[in-house]
Structure 1
């Protein structure tokens, strides 16, 4: 199983110059920009508890107590995602129910929470994390976005009276030159401030109203669709480059292909005892603790971005989680299938299956042939290893192959019930 989740509730990562709530206004989670709040910690603790109830207690798929060989947790290298992972794992394996053994799983020492088992959370440098961090250093991605902004669709949107009027007003109100690239700073800060300072913000920022914010937020929502490679014009070709396909390749392509790679290796290692298969044979759960942008890019790569956004647009909400389950049907020559579940926000359960939203998947089943996911991964795979492709030029000989094959896949028949969950 692969799990991808967004961190929980946090403080803003930055704000605009005239904002009355600068960095010193945010004291929780160690204080400062972008820190996980106690609410965010609680959100992930609750999600971890639900994951334990479903995959440990109900399915008996994951172990009752932490097994270092069966779970691997990777986080982006920022406090809020690391602490979200820690909070989630506390919900999964921090139980004072006798499942963990003192002086075996945790020390017998005064002050140590009974039953709490520390679990490793791994990271890579944030600037090179092309799986989890959609803002990792990647000049190629920026070139594609700059090209996309010259397309007729984006230019017509940006130059419309509504957008230009909003950007001009915000430039006047916020003390910074506002464009479609930095609009998110304002809408994101205001979104969080409505949670924590809702009355005060309306008193100090007299220009702020619900209607004004909703309009600014709607404009930003459309910008985010463009930045994730979702255009009404398909293909959206500029100077011979399909900027939609290129964007989805460079943003969501790496993490989608990473997940499919794990499942392919898991399947190919069935029955194998060679050293290179030992790790994957033992592994049952690979976790990515990341951001709203990560989930958005992942869903956009699959052209199911409508599942990533909240009801009226925007980004995945706090503690949103994607669960990608792998199955093998023993009655059909060990054919592999997958099931995709989406936990949209805190308070939701783990029962929203979205598999059938993926093009080519059957509409009468929660399961879909793994070949469908493999084909999507292949068509959206970066043209080179992402750490190399990011540093190529858009018009270089081997950069930016833009053709994408249509998925010509037959109907998937109903799946029999005899499944064995592998990953």
Structure 2
């Protein structure tokens, strides 16, 4: 016990005694993971009959899927809110992060696409890049004419977009597509698709715009219309005579349900090919992200309080890990935790600059790990503690065991880049492996 205490004390000195300790009674804040959606953008594509094609969108460099000045401003404001929560000593919840950017403390990861990268830059501008934040010219930024006073450039890390299974829920993953095709053959999805309420909306829209969609591409229409209401509302209603608020809401309702099916949310367990389809969809969508967070938290705990101190240099200083990503990335966290209902209204997906923060706390009385879940629903909102909404959690703090069990349940059966290539059931794989082992053993015995 004395050895563990001495190691923890020594590490606290190494990591810098000038960084304050944040405590809430016996609870001590140790690390924050935050997943946010980018800000307002242009449509990423649209339907063929839409009067607003790519040349209608000029901001953010022009074209599809670019962050708008409004989107930049939304993340600037979110960055300021996050500073007020985690940095400022006055009128803030915690003073946890340093006032001036410290590269050992903060790591920002973005998906490799313009709108998430610029959202991350805008957010960091609000959190660490303002004049008056304590930044020093000549140390934190150039003391030169033309450089914005106080602006500190912070590195935004990224990976290949198509293979980013952690941040991009639409990464290239044959297994996810295979599972989705199976799900569409389920009785529940067939009954839903063929119901009068759903088929009438899809058929009406198909007739009006003379275009058909697969269910996974149906989002294109409500997404484009949502954005066009912001930028071209009057023209939209004049040029698309069929458009009405009521019909738009019907389209959105259909799309919201598709969204839920894609994340494995069914009214009852859907079993096909000896698999729980809902669980398998969650494994490839939510599993990589949830396990990435939990593994990092466990590493932080082990390096701070355990006796295995190998490869701890990076994690010891790290306090704030960011995922700058998409609505589906935030949704993946909410679905994994069973609280996706909080993203349903007014839409079935997280809104611009929505953010979910997973705070890792340590109880200094029972020496156990806990977490707190905080949600920022949309631009302009405050942070709301949502921990008690998670099954198995009571109050603001919840045992880390709950989060670990969720991650374990959703962990892909193999590393995700390998698991995405598996387009058959786990039971089939086990049988195939068993057969191969049998024949290998048989022939080996025969040859001997």
Is TM-score (shorter-chain normalized) higher than 0.5? yes
1:374 matches 2:407: no
Q: Work out the CA distance in 2 between the residues paired with 1:153 and 1:242.
A: 14
**Aligned runs of 1:235-274 on 2, under 5 Å?**
235-270=269-304, 274=309
Within the candidate set 322, 346, 349, 1:315 is matched to: 349
1:54 CA drift (Å): 1.2
Please state which structure has a larger fraction of its residues in helix: 2
Q: Is the 8 A contact 1:18 1:173 kept in 2?
A: no
Residue aligning to 2:194: 159
Q: List structure 1 runs of 4+ shifted beyond 4 angstroms.
A: 271-275, 396-401
Report the secondary structure of 1:265's partner residue. Answer: helix
Residue aligning to 2:79: 48
1:275 CA drift (Å): 5.6
Larger C-alpha radius of gyration, 1 or 2? 2
Q: Is the 8 A contact 1:106 1:116 kept in 2?
A: yes
Within the candidate set 46, 59, 76, 1:28 is matched to: 59
Report the secondary structure of 1:316's partner residue. Answer: coil
How far does the alpha carbon of each residue in 1:187-225 deviate from its partner, in whole angstroms, 9 at most, with x for none?
100011011111111100001111111111101111100
Q: Work out the CA distance in 1 between the residues paired with 2:82 and 2:133.
A: 18
Give the TM-score normalised by structure 2. Answer: 0.86
Within the candidate set 335, 353, 364, 1:300 is matched to: 335
Residue aligning to 1:343: 376
Report the secondary structure of 1:118's partner residue. Answer: coil
1:206 matches 2:241: yes
1:397 CA drift (Å): 5.2
Report the secondary structure of 1:126's partner residue. Answer: coil
Residue aligning to 2:8: none
1:241 CA drift (Å): 1.5
Residue aligning to 1:38: 69
Within the candidate set 123, 131, 134, 2:158 is matched to: 123
Q: Is the 8 A contact 1:246 1:400 kept in 2?
A: no
1:172 CA drift (Å): 2.1
Residue aligning to 1:278: 313
1:175 CA drift (Å): 3.4
Q: Work out the CA distance in 2 between the residues paired with 1:108 and 1:400.
A: 63
1:383 matches 2:407: no
Residue aligning to 2:113: 78
Report the secondary structure of 2:158's partner residue. Answer: coil
In the alignment, structure 2 segments of 5+ residues that lack a partner are 1-31, 432-448
Q: Work out the CA distance in 2 between the residues paired with 1:344 and 1:327.
A: 23
Report the secondary structure of 1:328's partner residue. Answer: strand
Judged with a 3 Å threshold, the aligned counterparts in structure 2 of structure 1 residues 300 and 400 are, in CA distance, closer, same or farther, namely: farther
How far does the alpha carbon of each residue in 1:283-329 deviate from its partner, in whole angstroms, 9 at most, with x for none?
000100000011112211222211233x2441100000001101111
Give the TM-score normalised by structure 1. Answer: 0.91
1:274 CA drift (Å): 4.5
Q: Is the 8 A contact 1:29 1:36 kept in 2?
A: yes
Q: Work out the CA distance in 1 between the residues paired with 2:115 and 2:137.
A: 29
Q: Is the 8 A contact 1:167 1:179 kept in 2?
A: no
Q: Is the 8 A contact 1:76 1:123 kept in 2?
A: yes
Q: Is the 8 A contact 1:325 1:339 kept in 2?
A: yes
Within the candidate set 231, 244, 264, 1:196 is matched to: 231
Q: Work out the CA distance in 2 between the residues paired with 1:302 and 1:60.
A: 27
Residue aligning to 2:18: none
Q: Work out the CA distance in 1 between the residues paired with 2:284 and 2:44.
A: 24
Judged with a 3 Å threshold, the aligned counterparts in structure 2 of structure 1 residues 398 and 102 are, in CA distance, closer, same or farther, namely: farther
1:161 CA drift (Å): 2.1
Q: Is the 8 A contact 1:48 1:91 kept in 2?
A: yes
Q: Is the 8 A contact 1:4 1:287 kept in 2?
A: yes
Judged with a 3 Å threshold, the aligned counterparts in structure 2 of structure 1 residues 148 and 201 are, in CA distance, closer, same or farther, namely: same
How far does the alpha carbon of each residue in 1:333-354 deviate from its partner, in whole angstroms, 9 at most, with x for none?
x11110000000011112x111
Q: Is the 8 A contact 2:275 2:425 kept in 1?
A: no
